Structure 1
Amino acid sequence: MKINLLILLVALSIGSVTESFAQQNIQTRNRIGLYGGLTQFDIKTDNFITTSGQGWIGGLSASVDLPHKLYNVSYTIQLSENTLGINAKPTLASPSEEIDFTMITAQVAFLVHVKIIQDYLTIDIGPMIQYTGDLEVKNNSQKNYIIENYSRVTAKDLYKISPFNVNGAVGVSAGFKSFKLRGQYIYGFTNILNQLNDENFVGETNTSKFKGNQSMFALTALIKF
């Protein structure tokens, strides 16, 4: 249901932009694109010891080409599954080790594509709204591992991260009108760990607030129709 709402938002948004330019009697061209690629994901935080992990991403774009402007605009909706390593240990007396987590995200973005070399090379920048799934332990046998820097917080306790976040995206696209390669960096402006602050970890001696910001790099190939 949440993904359907995101798709509806993109459709309504691109329709409103197209109508706005049409009312100005300016020639525009709408294009639909499909894209997919790989991600490198991390959470920048002082609470945990993390290691970035790889994942995949795929999505749909709806763009408005503006030949009379120095930029084009587009709306994108994308899904990704990301991995992340966090240090934890079986017991307080054990040495720590890296355990893997997975997280699924759904993102909607409005991007402005500044033309450096016409449509062949652009700088892409814009805001993004993200729905974030649970942060899940990949190996069930490690769910009760104690997170490094804590005495009562376990790996399974980290699932309840903040579901809605606001990001900023910046990147570069290069290629032709029907095919482009895009490198994009996505940074989370909101605290993705904030919901953990509502939890009561009885007996925990580390009282520092949970705070972290998403950091993701995506390399994708885009085909436009």
Structure 2
Amino acid sequence: MKLYIFIFIFIAGTASVFAQSHRNTGSYNRIGLQGKIMLTSIESSDLEIDGKEGFQGGFTTRGRVYNNWGIVYGIDFLSANVSVQGTGAGQAIDNQIDYNFIGAQLNFFLSYNIIGQNLAIDFGPALLVNGKMKLKDSGQGDTTIAGFSSLTGSDIEEISKINPFVVIGLTGGFENVRLSVQYQYGVTNILNGLNDQDLELIDPAARNFKGTASFISAGVVFYL
């Protein structure tokens, strides 16, 4: 994890110096604060997971480096919510087990100005470092996960802690304020952390978990 962070800081720092060196030629380098509503999705054939609304916010820098091309980099803090289908013991109806995970996400995007400084498309990588998928209600910890005989809600909290994404988005507006829409797609198995928990000892079917996370977010960016 330290290596990833070091690489990000090095690239971002180099790009920032490059952008600053072009300020006198009409380029710019703006620091902004952003806040977004975020919908989380985890696609998995092993668990029935429904996406929920969450929040994403943090710091971003946008700089133009050559003609219509620029860079966008920064750090976001996010709070993501999902629910996993479960069946309560002795009950005939299904229950939704609610989870939350928080994290910090480093991003570094290329940006192309479609209409001057008023509309741009951004794309590139992001690295999410997150905590475990915590139960929002500890009382649901004993609820059996749908599709399993003895796996419960408290058994599936330890998801993978480092997750890279590819991101594409649009930002549009004015020099000091813009609206932003983004789609992020995970390129690794966010449920792989469950495979290190020996869950097959709890339930023989609890093995080889796979899941792909994605985020859709929309919000506003204020540039200082």
SS in 1 for 2:60: strand
Amino acid at match of 1:221: V
Query: Of residues 78, 81, 96 in structure 2, which corresponds to 1:80?
Result: 78
**Contact 1:39–1:82 (CA<8 Å) still a contact in 2?**
yes
TM-score normalized by structure 2? 0.89
What code does the residue aligned with 1:62 have? Answer: T
Could you tell me the percent identity over the aligned residues? 25
* 1:50 counterpart = 2:49: yes
2:193, 2:185 → 1: CA distance?
18
Distance 1:25 1:38 in 2: 33
Q: Any conservation in 1 of the 2:109–2:123 contact (CA below 8 Å)?
A: yes
Instruction: Write out per-residue CA displacement over residues 37-78 of structure 1, whole angstroms, 9 at most, x where no aligned residue.
Output: 211111111111111100111110122223x42221011200
Is contact 1:57–1:78 with CA below 8 Å preserved after alignment? yes
Return the alpha-carbon distance in structure 1 between the equivalents of residues 32 and 141 of structure 2.
40
1:173-184 aligned at under 5 Å gives the runs 173-184=171-182
Match of 1:15 in 2: 13
Instruction: Name the residue aligned to 2:37.
Output: 38
Root mean square deviation of aligned Cα: 2.5
Give 1:13 deviation, angstroms.
3.7
Report the residue type matching 1:130 in the other structure.
Answer: L
Q: How many residues align?
A: 221
Q: Kindly indicate whether residue 97 of structure 2 is the aligned counterpart of residue 99 of structure 1.
A: yes
In the aligned structure 1, how far is the partner of 2:82 from the partner of 2:178? 28
Deviation at 1:24, TM superposition (A): 8.1
Gaps of 5+ in 2: none
Q: CA deviation at 1:207?
A: 5.2
Superposed displacement of residue 26, structure 1: 7.2
Alpha-carbon distance in 1 for matches of 2:15, 2:80 = 32
Q: Which residue is equivalent to 2:87?
A: 89
